[in-house]
A = this chain, B = another copy of it.
Amino acid sequence: MNQTAILLITCPDRKGLVARVATLLYQRGANILHADQHQDHQAGLFFMRVEWALDSGNAPGRDAGNNAGSNAGASSAAFDVDAFRAEFAPIAAELQMTWRLELSSARPRVAIFVSQYMHCLADLLHRHQAGELGCDIRMIVSNHEAARPLAGFYKLPFHYTPFPKPPASPGAKAERELAQIDLLEAEKIDLVILARYMQILSADFVGHFPNRVINVHHSFLPAFVGAKPYHQAFERGVKLIGSTSHYVTAILDDGPIIEQDVMRVSHRDQLEDLVEKGRDLERIVLSRAVKWHLDHRILRYGDKTVVFN
C-alpha cells in the first residue's frame, strides 16, 4: 500500500471552494485517489475529504489509471507535504477553514479500555492482526484481570487499574483517572477505545481527549440511555435491538453518533438472548467506527458526524 495524504476541511459554504482546493493540489502534482464533499445547506457548512498519493508518478496498482495523462504543470516527483502545508495555510485562514492534513504513514497510537466482557476487545485485536486497522495498539487498560491473557497472546502491555472499592472518596476516583491520563499521555495516545468499559469517564478525562474517545453503547441511541440497556429493551418489548458507537462527551451516551446497527429479536428471545445477540452488533458497530476514525473519514460538527465512507 502506497503512502497517502488526507486533507480534511470544514468551513462556511461559499462558491469556489472545490475549485480552490483542487487547483492547488493539481498545481502541486497531487495524484488524487478519493475526493468527497458534503454541504449542509441548513447549517451553511462545507465539508471535504481529499486523499492523494505521496509517491512519485510511476506507482503500480490501484492508481495506475492516473498515470495515463501527464498534463503540463503536473509534477511526477514525490509530493512535498510541507510545502503544500505552508501554501495551504493562508488560503485556509482566508476561507475560515478548520482543517487538518493527515498522513497514512503516521499510524495513530491507540489504547483500548475494557472491563469484564472480552468480545469487543478480542474482535479488535484480531482485526488489527489481520491488517484491518491502521494503527498501533499501545496498551490494554482494564479494571479487571480478565483481559490479561488476550493482551499476552497479542504481546501488548496490560495495565490493571482497578476501581476504588466503595465506599471510596470522590478523590480516589479522580486520582485513578489522573494516573490513567498520565499513562495515556506518556504513550502519546491518539485514540482511546472504550470496548465495553463499564466505568463512566469524568468530564475532565474526556476534556483531555476531545473527539479522541470512542465508545460503544449497547442500545440504539437515544433509546435506552444509561445502565442496563438490554434490560430496558426487554422490558419495553422492542422488536429490534441496536448498538451505537459514538464519540464520548461529558454527557453520558450523548456524544456524536458515528455508527448504528440493529438486529431482529422476538418474544422468543429472553434477556440473555438479547445480551448474546447484541454482542455481534457491538463488535461490528464499534469496529466500523474505529476503522473510519483511523482512516480519517469522520468529521465532527456540533453533535453530529459526517462519515465519508
Contact = CB atoms under 8 A, between A and B. Distances in A.
How many copies are assembled? 4
Nearest to A46: B65
A305 B19 contact: no
B65 A44 contact: yes
B37 A35 contact: yes
B29 A23 contact: no
Contacts of A18: 18, 22, 26, 32, 35
B257 A238 contact: yes
A15 B69 CA distance: 7
A12 B226 CA distance: 33
A13 interface: yes
A40 B65 contact: yes
A134 to B, nearest CB: 12
A266 interface: yes
A169 interface: no
Contacts of A306: 267
Interface in A249-267: 256-262, 264, 266-267
Interface in A19-59: 19, 22-23, 25-26, 29-47
B15 A31 contact: yes
B257 A16 contact: no
B66 A14 contact: yes
Contact of A257 (B14, B74, B237): B237
Given A68-B14, A71-B14, A267 B37 contact: no
A132 interface: yes
A37 B308 CA distance: 12
Interface string A268-296: 10110000100110001000000000000
Interface residues of A, number: 86
A26 B66 CA distance: 24
A63 interface: yes
Contacts of A235: 303
Contacts of A237: 256-257, 303-305
Given A13-B65, A16-B71, A41-B33, A257 B270 contact: no
Interface in A187-229: 220-224
B19 A41 contact: no
User: Which of A23, A45, A279 has most B Cβ within 10 Å?
Assistant: A23
Contact of A118 (B66, B130, B257, B260): B130
A37 B25 CA distance: 16
Contacts of A262: 220, 240, 262
27 contacts: A12-B65, A13-B65, A14-B65, A14-B69, A14-B70, A16-B26, A16-B73, A18-B18, A18-B26, A36-B36, A39-B66, A41-B270, A122-B122, A123-B126, A149-B153, A220-B240, A221-B236, A236-B303, A237-B257, A237-B304, A237-B305, A239-B259, A239-B260, A262-B262, A267-B304, A268-B309, A280-B284
Given A16-B73, A41-B64, A119-B130, 19 more contacts: A13-B66, A15-B31, A15-B66, A16-B71, A18-B32, A19-B19, A22-B22, A23-B23, A33-B41, A36-B36, A39-B65, A44-B68, A45-B65, A62-B270, A123-B126, A130-B279, A223-B223, A237-B304, A238-B260
